[in-house]
Amino acid sequence: MAAESQRSWRLEIAGYLFLGGAGAGWAIAGAVLDWAGYRLPLQAGPAPFGVHLVAFCALGGPVITALGALLLVFHLGRNRRLAYTAGRNPRTSWLARGFWLLSAFIAVGCTQLAIAALAPTWADDHQTTWRALEAATVTLAAGTAVYTGLLLRSMAYIAAWRPWVLTAVFVASALSGGVAALVAGAGVAAALGIAAEEAVELATAAGGLDAALLVIEAVLLAAYLGTLLRGGSAGAASARLLLRGRWWPAFWIVVLGIGLVAPLSVDLVPQADGWSGLVGAALVVLAGGFVLRLLVLSVGSKDEPPLRRLSEWRAAARAAQPGALPRAATSRAGV
């Protein structure tokens, strides 16, 4: 029996997974670099710009995660019952767990963003509380990044989504995309003349971090494809679609070439202008991360639909009965 490609989750869910993961990675990278001391001097500009550089560049993570959640709401809007029950039964439903996890991350992260924008000196005056708030944001962001991979793995009948290594790929991609978003934010700060030297310093530091994450992502992606090729027929077919089938141009050119190799080469080469090359590399990392998720969804195949074996057993039992008519014939006869 040929594997059947799933068609329910495509562009909207790819956007949801991408924005959710990148927003989580953005928040994590911003907090880590804030802890490392990358700051914007308070006198550099009026509120909301007179804040920590990392706060200005990185606290947008929960906002883009919220935009991703809107894509999920739009997708679920086609099924009112599913939308109504999205937040119920978190003990058994990954959709419900994700609903509450993303809601908590967005709420805490946006609180942090509001404080940075409306009370730029508050973080310095209340260091302990600010650090605790950052730690809560990082914890929820890490859970959100992991969830984006576990949601797919919970679909037990999609062979391409079952390997545990796919969750690791999505986490690495989320962190890489988050760092890339932070670099882009630093570029915006430099372009606006907001602590340009500190912005360049941040972009350079984040670029080095992103280079390491891109290498890790590439290794995990190779492990994921190897797992599919060594697995069942449906998983191997999904891997072949990426490597030499219908989706090979998008995979080899966009995901690997543009999304991984090109930005890695830029991150490892010193930039004469300080930051513009790093910002360009960051943008293609983000593009590659989105296309990666879209491709993983596109090659998902149903290799063992629910109750398929039971249906086959019943069909065989009917066929074995003496004088049994084919099911189509009995239906036409009104039986």
Predicted local confidence at residue 215, as pLDDT: 93
Q: Which two tokens stand for residue 194?
A: 């907001």
**pLDDT score, position 50:** 46
**298 CB-near residues (< 8 Å, 6+ apart):** 5, 10, 241, 247
| Segment 6-39, tens digit of pLDDT | 677 778 888 999 999 999 998 898 888 778 877 6
Report yes or no: 20 and 176 within 8 Å, Cβ to Cβ. Answer: no
From CA 168, how far away is CA 155, in angstroms rounded? 17
Q: In this structure, what token pair is assigned to residue 24?
A: 């989580």
Predicted pLDDT at 77 = 65
Could you give the domains of the chain?
Answer: 9-303 (1.20.1630.10)
CA distance to 100, 261, 295, 304, per residue, from 95 (Å): 9, 34, 21, 21
pLDDT at 323: 53
- Rounded to 5°, the CA angle 66-72-73 comes to 90
- Stretches in the chain below the pLDDT threshold 50: 1-2, 42-50, 54, 306, 324-335
pLDDT digits 0-9 by tens, 121-147: 777 788 889 889 989 999 999 999 999
pLDDT for position 72: 76
